[in-house]
């Protein structure tokens, strides 16, 4: 296999697979490490091409001297080096070890968007300057990567101060959309509200991204945590872009042969929000988000909602509350959505409960929950799959089987998470409920698991940011952070 040849060549160059500790018992494979060690690993991702070869994406960071010595800090007097970040793309094939195929001195601004049989669009960002209030001006560009390690010259999309990480999505042909939120100058020196601009650039298969267009000019409160953007691209050409506005979660829809819709308000954004979007092959879409009040601390429950877009429509059905909330604290992990070939949706998240799980620190636990919809987009009651954890991802196999994954928690605060162990629960094709949790990487300090199914074999893969050396994954206390991967037989 091409992956095996690459692994051999990279090992000779010093990028080979590193020694790893024992992983979980079967059916999960022992965890493998790929790529360079660093102070931090961030934004792990995995997706598969139609032939069963997977693409990995992740960031590493070596904390620069100008960061002031604080874990995770940035340099507010930026003078080059992309503030310690570098982006990496890897591949993994059936029965082969994962291999690093390309590193760039830029950040991977979003996970690679796969298309064709061995191509991926890569969104790249380089920090140009940094302000004292941590606003980073970046150059955002796009390249095409291949499974063999080729990387095209970067095509610049914009130079701007971005509020949050941009989004990238593509269909199987290579049509694509990039979306981001820019911080724009205030109109008056004493103006309190920040001004934002939601922008998108599109690419037709075989071409370059065109000139960016503005979907929305908005304002926001600096103490809130909005500005998140997400995007999905269906095989039929449907595009959905989701933006966390000041008090609402908004969506923009573009159907094949039509322009962008006007803003579609899906529901409330109380100030702090985590959102995700999944677009199916036939133009259905599901948007899931959790929200609570912004500011320095939480004062309201964490509420999770989902909204469904039927095929052929540009207006979402009314949003449904799938978790009304419980105890008041910041949530753990993220909110993740997936959509199967049969149009059934899946959402996973961590709730907040005032009953600490055994062995946890603090008064709260963060039960991992999952809710599934029927073919019409109506979600049923959620199922609890773990008493506490940081929700990571949801994935649906071509046959309708599904997987949700999360990191175990030793401690959780608004500023950091101490993850211990990676876990998963599976739902068999045709089943309505998920199995008991399976240990993917028990005992390993780990965070941010992401999952995908090989469309040929049905094998499930999970990647995460790990520290086999035993240090907490939240702090750059040692240069032993790695991208980690484990697989489960079909």
Residue 378 CB neighbours (<10 A): 12
Q: Residue 414: its pLDDT value, please? A: 54
Per-residue pLDDT, averaged over 193-198, amounts to 90
Residue 226 to residues 72, 291, 306, 307, 451, Cα–Cα distance (Å)? 21, 10, 18, 19, 26
Q: Residue 74: its pLDDT value, please? A: 73
Q: Residue 209: its pLDDT value, please? A: 98
Query: How far does CA 43 lie from the centroid of its chain?
Result: 6
Q: The whole model's pTM is what?
A: 0.91
Confidence class for position 405, pLDDT limits 50, 70, 90: very high
User: How many whole angstroms separate alpha carbon 353 and alpha carbon 360?
Assistant: 13
Q: How many residues does the chain have?
A: 490
H/E stretch holding 9: helix 2-12
Whether the pLDDT of residue 428 is over 80: the answer is: yes
- Cβ(447)–Cβ(467) under 8 Å? no
pLDDT, mean over the chain: 88
Confidence class for position 11, pLDDT limits 50, 70, 90: very low
- Cβ(157)–Cβ(178) under 8 Å? yes
Percent of the chain with pLDDT over 70: 87
Smallest Cα–Cα separation from 18: which of 1, 41, 2?
A: 41
For residue 88, the cross-strand partners are 58, 103
Whether the pLDDT of residue 14 is over 70: the answer is: no
233 or 4: whose pLDDT is higher? 233
Burial class (CB in 10 A: 0-12, 13-18, 19+), 245: buried
4 or 86: whose pLDDT is higher? 86
User: ∠419-443-36 over CA atoms, to 5°?
Assistant: 70
User: How many whole angstroms separate alpha carbon 224 and alpha carbon 214?
Assistant: 22
Report cis status (omega within 30 of 0) of the bond before 381: no
Q: Residue 33: its pLDDT value, please? A: 94
- Cβ(83)–Cβ(63) under 8 Å? no
Helix and strand tally (H, E) in the chain? 1, 32
User: How many whole angstroms separate alpha carbon 270 and alpha carbon 249?
Assistant: 9
Smallest Cα–Cα separation from 323: which of 260, 368, 280, 272?
A: 368
Indicate the pairing of strand 40-48 with strand 32-38.
unpaired
Q: Residue 358: its pLDDT value, please? A: 64
Per-residue pLDDT, averaged over 76-105, amounts to 87
Whether the pLDDT of residue 12 is over 50: the answer is: no
pLDDT per residue as tens digits for the range 309-350: 999 999 999 999 999 999 999 999 999 999 999 999 999 999
Whether the pLDDT of residue 283 is over 80: the answer is: yes
User: How many whole angstroms separate alpha carbon 158 and alpha carbon 477?
Assistant: 34
Of 119-123, 243-247, 324-328, 407-411, minimum mean pLDDT range? 407-411
Per-residue pLDDT, averaged over 183-202, amounts to 87
Q: Residue 223: its pLDDT value, please? A: 63
Per-residue pLDDT, averaged over 148-176, amounts to 95
Whether the pLDDT of residue 1 is over 70: the answer is: no
Q: Residue 6: its pLDDT value, please? A: 29
Of 9-18, 132-141, 185-194, 337-346, minimum mean pLDDT range? 9-18
Q: Residue 189: its pLDDT value, please? A: 77
């Amino acid at each position: 296999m091409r992956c095996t040849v690459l692994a051999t060549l990279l090992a000779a160059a010093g990028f080979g697979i590193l020694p790893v500790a024992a992983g979980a018992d079967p059916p999960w494979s022992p965890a493998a490490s790929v790529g360079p060690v660093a102070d931090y690993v961030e934004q792990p991702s995995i997706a598969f091409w139609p032939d069963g070869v997977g693409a990995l994406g992740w960031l590493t960071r070596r904390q620069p001297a100008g960061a002031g010595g604080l874990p995770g800090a940035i340099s507010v007097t930026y003078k080059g080096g992309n503030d310690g970040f570098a982006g990496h793309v890897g591949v993994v094939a059936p029965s082969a070890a994962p291999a690093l195929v390309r590193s760039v001195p830029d950040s991977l601004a979003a996970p690679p968007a796969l298309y064709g049989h061995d191509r991926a669009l890569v969104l790249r960002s380089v920090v140009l300057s940094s302000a004292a209030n941590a606003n980073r001006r970046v150059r955002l560009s796009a390249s095409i990567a291949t499974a063999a390690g080729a990387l095209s010259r970067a095509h610049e999309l914009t130079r701007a101060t971005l509020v949050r990480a941009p989004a990238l999505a593509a269909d199987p042909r290579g049509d694509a959309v990039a979306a981001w939120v820019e911080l724009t100058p205030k109109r008056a020196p004493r103006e309190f509200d920040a001004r934002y601009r939601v922008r998108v650039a599109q690419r037709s298969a075989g071409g370059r991204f065109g000139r960016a267009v503005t979907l929305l000019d908005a304002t926001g409160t600096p103490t809130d945590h909005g500005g998140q953007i997400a995007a999905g691209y269906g095989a039929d050409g449907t595009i959905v872009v989701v933006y966390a506005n000041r008090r609402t979660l908004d969506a923009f829809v573009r159907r094949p042969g039509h322009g962008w819709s006007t803003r579609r308000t899906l529901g409330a954004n109380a100030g702090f929000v985590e959102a995700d979007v999944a677009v199916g092959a036939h133009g259905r879409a599901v948007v899931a988000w959790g929200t609570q009040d912004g500011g320095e601390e939480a004062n309201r429950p964490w509420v999770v909602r989902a909204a469904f877009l039927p095929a052929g429509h540009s207006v979402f059905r009314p949003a449904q509350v799938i978790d009304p909330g419980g105890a008041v604290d910041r949530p753990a992990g993220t909110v993740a959505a997936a959509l199967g070939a049969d149009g059934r949706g899946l959402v996973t998240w961590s709730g907040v409960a005032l009953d600490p799980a055994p062995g946890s620190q603090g008064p709260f636990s963060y039960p991992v929950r999952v809710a599934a919809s029927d073919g019409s987009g109506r979600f049923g009651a959620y199922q609890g799959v773990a008493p506490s954890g940081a929700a990571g991802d949801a994935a649906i196999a071509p046959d309708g089987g599904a997987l949700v994954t999360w990191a175990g928690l030793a401690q959780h605060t608004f500023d950091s998470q101490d993850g211990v162990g990676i876990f998963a629960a599976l739902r068999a094709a045709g089943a309505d409920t998920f199995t008991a949790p399976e240990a993917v990487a028990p005992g390993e300090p780990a965070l941010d698991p992401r999952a995908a199914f090989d469309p040929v074999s049905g094998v499930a893969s999970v990647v995460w940011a790990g520290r086999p050396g035993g240090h907490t994954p939240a702090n750059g206390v040692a240069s032993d952070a790695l991208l980690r991967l484990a697989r489960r037989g079909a």
